[in-house]
Chain A
Amino acid sequence: MSMTSEFTNISRVSWHRRGFFAGQTAYMTLAFVIICVLAATFSGNFVTTGNLLNISRNFSYIALMSLGMTVVIVTGGIDLSVGSVCALVAVCTMIAMRAVSNSSLAAIPYATVVVPVVAGLLLAAAIGAVNGFFIARLDLSPFVTTLGMLSICRGLTYVITQGRGQAPTGPGVQAFFAATNGTIAGLPVPVVYVLVAAVVLGIALHHTVWGRHLFAVGGSEPAAMRTGVRVSRVKIGAYVLCSLSAGATGILLAGWLGSAPANLASGYELRVIAASVIGGANLAGGIGGPVGAVIGAALIEVIRNSLVLGRVDAYWQDALIGSIIILAVLVDKLRGLQAK
Chain B
Amino acid sequence: MESPTGMPGHMLLSLRGIAKSFGAVRALDGVDLDIGPAEVLGLMGDNGAGKSTLTKIVAGNFPPTEGQIALGGTAMVFDRPAAARDAGIEVMYQDLAIAENLTASANIFLGREMTRSFGPLRFLDHSGMNKRSAELFRELKSETRSDDLVKQMSGGQRQAVAIARTRLAKAKLVLMDEPTAAISVRQVAEVLDLIRRLRDGGTAVMLISHRMPDVFTVCDRIAVLRRGRKVADKPVTATSPEEITGLITGAIETG
| A→B interface (CB under 8 Å) | 1-8, 10, 13, 203, 206-209, 212-213, 215-216, 218-220, 222-224, 226-229, 286-287
Contact = CB atoms under 8 A, between A and B. Distances in A.
A4 B186 contact: yes
Contacts of A212: 102, 106, 110, 113, 124
B99 A228 contact: no
A272 B67 CA distance: 57
B89 to A, nearest CB: 13
B138 to A, nearest CB: 13
B122 A208 contact: yes
Given A215-B99, A215-B102, A226-B93, A7 B113 contact: no
A3 to B, nearest CB: 5
A224 B190 contact: no
A223 B97 contact: yes
Contacts of B186: 4-5
B142 to A, nearest CB: 7
B8 to A, nearest CB: 31
Interface stretch (B32-40, B149-157, B219-227): B149-157
B101 A7 contact: no
B120 interface: no
B156 A209 contact: no
B82 interface: yes
Contact of B97 (A4, A206, A215, A226): A226
Given A215-B102, A219-B99, A222-B97, 17 more contacts: A3-B184, A5-B154, A5-B187, A5-B190, A8-B143, A10-B145, A208-B122, A215-B106, A220-B99, A222-B95, A223-B99, A224-B99, A224-B110, A226-B81, A226-B91, A227-B97, A227-B111
Interface string B75-96: 0000001100100000101011
A7 B102 contact: no
A224 B151 CA distance: 16
A107 B113 CA distance: 48
Contact of A7 (B96, B110, B126, B156): B156
Contact of A223 (B82, B98, B123): B98
Interface in B152-184: 152-157, 165, 183-184
A136 B113 CA distance: 23
The number of chain B residues touching the other chain, given as a range, is 35 or more
A219 B110 CA distance: 12
Nearest to A206: B124
Contact of B157 (A5, A203, A229): A5
Nearest to A226: B97
Given A212-B124, A216-B110, A220-B99, A3 B154 contact: yes
Contacts of A229: 110-111
A1 B122 CA distance: 36
Give the secondary structure class of A's interface. Answer: loop
Contacts of A8: 143
B115 interface: yes
A286 B101 contact: yes
Contacts of A7: 142-143, 156-157, 190
B183 to A, nearest CB: 8
A207 B154 CA distance: 27
9 contacts: A3-B187, A4-B186, A5-B156, A5-B157, A13-B148, A208-B124, A222-B97, A227-B97, A229-B110
B100 interface: yes
Contacts of A287: 101
A224 B107 CA distance: 9
A6 B154 contact: yes
Contacts of B107: 223
A216 B106 CA distance: 9
A147 B126 CA distance: 39
Nearest to A3: B184
Given A4-B154, A5-B157, A229-B111, A216 B99 contact: yes
A266 B138 CA distance: 56
Interface string B116-141: 00000011101000000000000000
Nearest to B189: A5
A286 B107 CA distance: 13
Given A10-B145, A227-B111, A218 B101 contact: yes
Contacts of A219: 99-102
Contacts of A1: 151-154
Which of A212, A223, A228, A287 has most B Cβ within 10 Å?
A223
A220 B106 CA distance: 13
B234 to A, nearest CB: 33
A149 to B, nearest CB: 28
A216 B102 CA distance: 7
A218 B190 CA distance: 29
A31 B154 CA distance: 34
A230 to B, nearest CB: 9
B123 A207 contact: yes
Contacts of B143: 7-8, 10
Nearest to A285: B101
Contacts of B156: 5, 7
Nearest to A12: B145
B99 A209 contact: no
B124 A209 contact: yes
Given A209-B113, A227-B111, A13 B152 contact: yes
Which of B91, B165, B186 has most A Cβ within 10 Å?
B186
Contact of A4 (B115, B123, B126, B184): B184
